[in-house]
Amino acid sequence: MTIPENNRHQQLAQWILRLIEILRSQENATWQTLVRTVAGKRALMELDGIQLQLTASENDPLQVRVDYITESPFLHFSTTGEILRSIIAGQLTIDKAIIMGELYLRATLDDILGIHQLVIDILADSPLNPQLQELWREFDQDWISSPVTSALYSLQNQKIIYGELIQAVPRDTLLGEDME
């Protein structure tokens, strides 16, 4: 089911607020990263042409307000649903999306590092959190019209290659000249 064009901003705002509540309910390092990164700040974002303003309170508990805006020339974040899906699915990193020009991010270095850490934390939590998995499934099903290309993979099921760096070190360096 694809969301009607006139309701897309409402659905996107609901998903953002739901993501925040899911993270709040965990009360883990991901929640602490979110609070540290967004408290007292405002961001203008765009996803597939839908622009929203997010405003976070400075007080505890953190409150986030999401407002629909019709057009702002100054955005802090902009991308497409397809790129966001690829990042959520672990097929694309934020860094690569920025380098490819598929994700626009404007902020201070501290804020960018905080956002980067927050995304990594959320992605690490996702395969093990049924609420996050359901949120991503809804996003895939209702926001993006093309079929889902892959599922979330837990870190335990991803193939890890060990020893690439150590294999690049010459043998005599590892053993020392007198060890051969």
Cα–Cα–Cα angle for 123, 117, 158, nearest 5°?
A: 35
Determine the pLDDT at residue 4: 58
Q: What is the DSSP letter of 146?
A: S
> Reading across the β-sheet that carries 64-69, which strands appear in turn?
64-69, 50-56, 42-47, 77-79, 104-105
**In the chain, what are the domain boundaries?**
5-154
What CATH number should be reported for the domain whose range is 5-154? 3.30.1050
User: CA–CA separation, 155 vs 100, rounded Å?
Assistant: 25
Residue-level pLDDT, tens digit, the chain, 180 residues: 455 567 889 999 999 999 999 999 998 999 999 999 999 999 999 999 999 999 999 988 899 999 999 888 789 999 999 999 999 888 888 888 998 999 999 999 999 999 999 999 999 999 889 999 999 999 988 888 665 555 554 444 444 455 656 666 777 776 665 544
pTM: 0.77
User: CA–CA separation, 1 vs 142, rounded Å?
Assistant: 5
Query: How far is Cα of residue 117 from the mean position of the Cα atoms in its chain?
Result: 9
Of 24, 13, 34, nearest to 115 by C-alpha is 34
